[in-house]
Structure 1
């Protein structure tokens, strides 16, 4: 049976022993290459974009992060493993490595995580890793800066870019709709962002940052799409409206909200889902 979403197949491992080389199997059908299509690298800035073994990601910071803070990586929850509904991963040791890309999608080197700050596949599909290095360390080593996480969700019609570190390519489109609930198999996401048709993302783009076009501001994280036109199944998500009506269509692709993480920080600015008012599952 196929597993979920837009990542690359890997070996199955228990979540308690998760690390960079023991990832669960999940994925849409993955093209063997993108050589048959136009190269989509030239028009995008890949500074801060990361490649994972099975997904994409980005080097991110809060808008008030300090250069001395440990750097963070944003990707999907499902890129860490298939996390059951209602479950989270919080402050778990992890040693995953990430390829660091330069502005032209050239590989500059690698960085490595020391832990997963937070990951879930409930309400949103997001993982946030903490690296061993600070933002200052990374700037000194690679001469790149992190992208900035937005405190707000993107509005309808917002022009966006989805930039994949796995495939080293980008997509340009706009926010077409916001689904109150996006259901995919046993998972449900809230306020999911549907793209206009030009962001026809493929397997391996999971975890790509969604940027407000022409900026270095992350407004969401790319995660899934309907591949076969089926209803509410794995790899075939459906939108459930407030009146109970269901929308699904082959080719509809989606991103999930990331701004909620700002509500889950303690007085020291650290991610802590136990703080009052945290909007993420805990």
Structure 2
């Protein structure tokens, strides 16, 4: 996983570098990280569509990870807002395989960023609405503020989660609120299964090698440059070339063939979240079309 960070000393040991200036835009990791391997980007189509300007507006910094204030197409201004990050970024620790957390009280705070990466203010959770590391690596926090509250007070609009599955070749930006850095590359393809240690994720997004994400970028929204919508959550990468171990995920295809891609990073798709958001912006795992894992007790019903 693109490790969550805990404490200033651990951060320094992990990265060997200090935090970067606000609004840095780069495709390279700090010099202490492994050397970036360059490849040619996926070929563009002949018809060019003007890309939307991707900024930090709506992204957040957690104590150990990145995230964003998000909405689905049906979200209303008066709904309590949601913050999305990785399941492995939860303050409760890593959920075990098969574990699903729903409606657990939380008072976690998030630093909300403006377009340039500056501190716009602080928003606070009332609960963990959903969290898991099974099939996906996602956490959704319900805030004490509504979308209207956030826009009125801070001038920040939520990022919209795309309801459509992403496609290979699209230009993307991984926007890290923790580091206030953007990583720009393309979707290289998809991993049928991505296995890392105890956890397995489905239909993961593989980036081209320019996105050299690092510890603290976990939970960053992966934004489609053309639409400006969130299509995935940044969560992991193969650091050392090991096979299916912690921090060294491997790809497993439909026939069980394992592929290791050292230095390549991945995200988990988010379009599957949209059908699971019901009236009032509440997570409804029984809603038609929702395929997110359910808590074990509910799954047995």
Give the alignment's TM-score, normalised by structure 2. Answer: 0.82
Return the match for 2:140 from 128, 131, 142.
128
Change (3 A) 1:250 1:33: farther
Return the match for 1:57 from 67, 75, 86.
67
3-state DSSP of counterpart to 1:112: strand
Please give the residue correspondences for 1:83-162 in structure 2 after superposition, counting only pairs within 5 Å.
83-162=95-174
Return the match for 1:196 from 208, 212, 230.
208
Q: Which has the higher contact order (CA 8 A, sep 6+)?
A: 2
| CA apart distance, 1:278 | 2.1
Change (3 A) 1:5 1:46: closer
| CA apart distance, 1:241 | 0.7
Aligned to 1:260: 272
| CA apart distance, 1:109 | 1.2
Q: Check whether the contact 1:230–1:249 (CA below 8 A) recurs between aligned residues.
A: no
Rounded to whole Å, the distance in 2 between the matches of 1:39 and 1:111 is 23
Task: Count residues with an aligned counterpart.
Answer: 263
| CA apart distance, 1:64 | 1.7
Aligned to 2:82: 72
**Structure 1 position 9 matched with structure 2 position 19:** no
Structure 2: tracts of 5 or more residues without a match: 27-52, 295-301
| CA apart distance, 1:267 | 5.2
Q: Check whether the contact 1:92–1:117 (CA below 8 A) recurs between aligned residues.
A: yes
| CA apart distance, 1:216 | 2.8
3-state DSSP of counterpart to 2:143: strand
| CA apart distance, 1:128 | 0.6
Return the match for 1:235 from 247, 256, 280.
247
| CA apart distance, 1:9 | 2.9
Q: Which has the larger radius of gyration?
A: 2
Q: Check whether the contact 1:179–1:193 (CA below 8 A) recurs between aligned residues.
A: yes
3-state DSSP of counterpart to 1:130: strand
Structure 1: tracts of 5 or more residues without a match: 11-24
3-state DSSP of counterpart to 1:89: strand
Rounded to whole Å, the distance in 2 between the matches of 1:44 and 1:62 is 18
Q: Check whether the contact 2:79–2:280 (CA below 8 A) recurs between aligned residues.
A: no
Rounded to whole Å, the distance in 2 between the matches of 1:243 and 1:273 is 30
**Structure 1 position 30 matched with structure 2 position 27:** no
Rounded to whole Å, the distance in 2 between the matches of 1:250 and 1:101 is 32
Change (3 A) 1:260 1:156: same
Rounded to whole Å, the distance in 2 between the matches of 1:251 and 1:242 is 23
Rounded to whole Å, the distance in 1 between the matches of 2:54 and 2:232 is 17
Q: Check whether the contact 1:31–1:203 (CA below 8 A) recurs between aligned residues.
A: no
